[in-house]
Amino acid sequence: MTTTSSLIELSKRSHDIAPLKPPVDPVSLQHANLLELPDFRRIPAYADVTDEQFMDHRWQAKKSITRPDKLLDTLRGMVSDDFIRDATEGFARAPMSVRVSPYMLSLIDWNDPYGDPLRTQFIPLASRFLPDHPKLGLDSLHERADAPVPGLTHRYADKALFLPLDTCPVYCRFCTRSYAVGIDTEEVEKTHFKVDEERWKRAYAYIASRPELEDIVVSGGDAYNLRPEQLGAIGETLLRMPNIQRIRLATKGPAVMPQKILTDDEWIDAVTRTVELGRKLHKEVVIHTHFNHPNEITGVTRDAMNKLFERGITVRNQSVLQRGVNDTPETMKLLVKRLGHVHVHPYYVYIHDLVRGVEDLRTTLATGLTIEKHVRGSTAGFNTPTFVVDAPGGGGKRDAHSFEHYDRTTGISVFEAPSVKPGQRYTYFDPIDQLPAEGRARWADPAEHQKMIDEALQASR
């Protein structure tokens, strides 16, 4: 029997027991302390917005800002003119599309826009730009090279990545798929994966023809932007294939617009029906999402995740390790604990891919290894993410600790992927500005580049 009084009795008694552990540091309970509702009315443009409007996904989608000048107009009066100039120039240089939800904007601390971890992810600043790494190429993961059908990447033995569309509820600076998602920018001519039923049919035909494929990641773009009937049709088509056992619906939505889960009944019911059909067919359908910072998790998130939890829908999270966002043990531990608290399983933390125009966001592999050491042991093992490097050139995801060789001076690490591409070696490159002086000097000399890579490959044998 656990009535309140018997619990109080128990806790009193526990004081009589010799204290093995000191009393808890309140900092360690911070993860459960959520901001209930962002203070959106402090943004002048939202001063007259009601709570009800703010909680409505239609309002969030309609008011999402897709043009840099509009975004900066919204911020005028809250940030300095210098910041506006810096961001205007940042957008002009960035190879990305712009879309930010009012929810995200209202979570940013506009008293400190330079230091805010959410601003850092969505609004580029010219003053922070660093030159790209010389070994960086667009589509560094070779998703297009491993695609038997446009928008379907089959790299691993039993799983494939299906990109039914190329739009997202927001656009992230660090997106690995900046080769495909969003509209063309001045910097990048993109390969588009529009909603196109003919292309989908070719993808389905391929998936059905490969008995080894059991697991499909439906990504994009973002499943949030699929209409309910499209989502249902994709889910049902895949679930009816005898070879398919698992589907993941990938969406950043819960992190940037949790309102949709609470107020878009048609969409969330389509997800629920797909999960239930899967369950009836003894197949797993889950959501994979993408939180990067503890400030992205609010009372709205908790309510949305509880709704999914009540419906028995599993949610896993994949984060990207980013400099100035989540690259300290404290922040990453808080994120991981807070995710667990709202019933989201931390699955992966990616060491930042080599992506154009965001060198200021990348960290070294060594930073990731240090953070992993601190995170492991701070909570349940099943809520402890694996830190991975998605090996450039198509080697796939590798445990960050599993390098064959890592030279912290040149920042070159070497990985193998025997079950993905046997016999091949893959190199990952730390951002040059984070290297010791000797490493920076060698990268400054193009004649050294291949030599450094050869040295690393030699040392890895």
Position among 252, 260, 338, 442 found at the interface with ligand SF4 (CB under 6 A): 252
**Separation between Cα atoms, residue 227 and residue 82, nearest integer Å:** 40
**Separation between Cα atoms, residue 52 and residue 47, nearest integer Å:** 13
**DSSP string over 67-121:** SHHHHHHHHBTTB-HHHHHHHHHHHHH-SS---B-HHHHHHS-TTSTTT-HHHHH
User: 358 contacts which partner out of ligand PLP, ligand SF4, none, CB within 5 to 8 A by kind?
Assistant: none
Residue 414: beta bridge partners? 405, 427
442 binds ligand SF4 (CB under 6 A): no
Nearest to 452 by CA among 409, 410, 420: 410
Position among 94, 105, 136, 181 found at the interface with ligand SF4 (CB under 6 A): 181
Position among 152, 172, 207, 305 found at the interface with ligand SF4 (CB under 6 A): 172
Position among 61, 108, 149, 161 found at the interface with ligand PLP (CB under 6 A): 161
Interface size with ligand PLP, residues (CB under 6 A): 8
In the complex, the smallest distance separating the C-beta of residue 94 from ligand SF4, rounded to whole angstroms, is: 12
In the complex, the smallest distance separating the C-beta of residue 193 from ligand PLP, rounded to whole angstroms, is: 14
Position among 63, 155, 337, 398 found at the interface with ligand PLP (CB under 6 A): 155
Tokens linked to 94: 């960035």
In the complex, the smallest distance separating the C-beta of residue 388 from ligand SF4, rounded to whole angstroms, is: 16
On whether the CB atoms of residues 216 and 240 are closer than 8 A, the answer is no
- Footprint of ligand SF4 on 71-90 (CB under 6 A): none
Position among 119, 133, 177, 337 found at the interface with ligand SF4 (CB under 6 A): 177
In the complex, the smallest distance separating the C-beta of residue 126 from ligand SF4, rounded to whole angstroms, is: 21
On whether the CB atoms of residues 356 and 350 are closer than 8 A, the answer is no
Tokens linked to 396: 């796939």
On whether the CB atoms of residues 251 and 279 are closer than 8 A, the answer is no
In the complex, the smallest distance separating the C-beta of residue 161 from ligand PLP, rounded to whole angstroms, is: 4
Position among 57, 323, 397, 425 found at the interface with ligand PLP (CB under 6 A): 397
On whether the CB atoms of residues 286 and 249 are closer than 8 A, the answer is yes
Nearer to ligand PLP, 108 or 152 (CB): 152
Nearest to 431 by CA among 95, 130, 34, 92: 130
175 binds ligand SF4 (CB under 6 A): yes
**Separation between Cα atoms, residue 176 and residue 143, nearest integer Å:** 10
Contacts of 234 (CB under 8 A, 6+ apart): 162, 164, 200, 218, 226
153 binds ligand PLP (CB under 6 A): yes
In the complex, the smallest distance separating the C-beta of residue 456 from ligand SF4, rounded to whole angstroms, is: 29
Position among 217, 262, 453, 457 found at the interface with ligand PLP (CB under 6 A): 217
Nearer to ligand PLP, 59 or 347 (CB): 347
In the complex, the smallest distance separating the C-beta of residue 136 from ligand SF4, rounded to whole angstroms, is: 17
Tokens 């495909």: give the residue.
180
Nearer to ligand SF4, 172 or 412 (CB): 172
- Where does this chain touch ligand SF4 (CB under 6 A) — which range of 10-18, 164-172, 194-202, 447-455? 164-172
**DSSP string over 278-324:** HHHTT-EEEEEE---SGGG--HHHHHHHHHHHHTT--EEEEEEE-TT
Helices 228-239 and 265-280 cross at an angle (nearest 10°) of 10
- Footprint of ligand SF4 on 99-128 (CB under 6 A): none
- Where does this chain touch ligand PLP (CB under 6 A) — which range of 88-96, 113-121, 149-157, 194-202? 149-157
Nearer to ligand SF4, 154 or 252 (CB): 252
222 binds ligand SF4 (CB under 6 A): yes
Tokens linked to 271: 């997800």
Residue with the shortest CB distance to ligand PLP: 161
In the complex, the smallest distance separating the C-beta of residue 379 from ligand PLP, rounded to whole angstroms, is: 21
Nearer to ligand SF4, 222 or 359 (CB): 222
Nearer to ligand PLP, 202 or 440 (CB): 202
In the complex, the smallest distance separating the C-beta of residue 98 from ligand PLP, rounded to whole angstroms, is: 25
In the complex, the smallest distance separating the C-beta of residue 312 from ligand PLP, rounded to whole angstroms, is: 21
Strands of 345-351's sheet in order across: 152-153, 159-162, 215-218, 246-250, 284-289, 315-321, 345-351, 386-391, 396-399
Distance set, CA 19 to CA 12, 13, 16 (Å): 12, 11, 8
Question: In the complex, which residues of this chain contact ligand PLP (CB under 6 A)?
Answer: 153, 155-156, 159-161, 217, 397
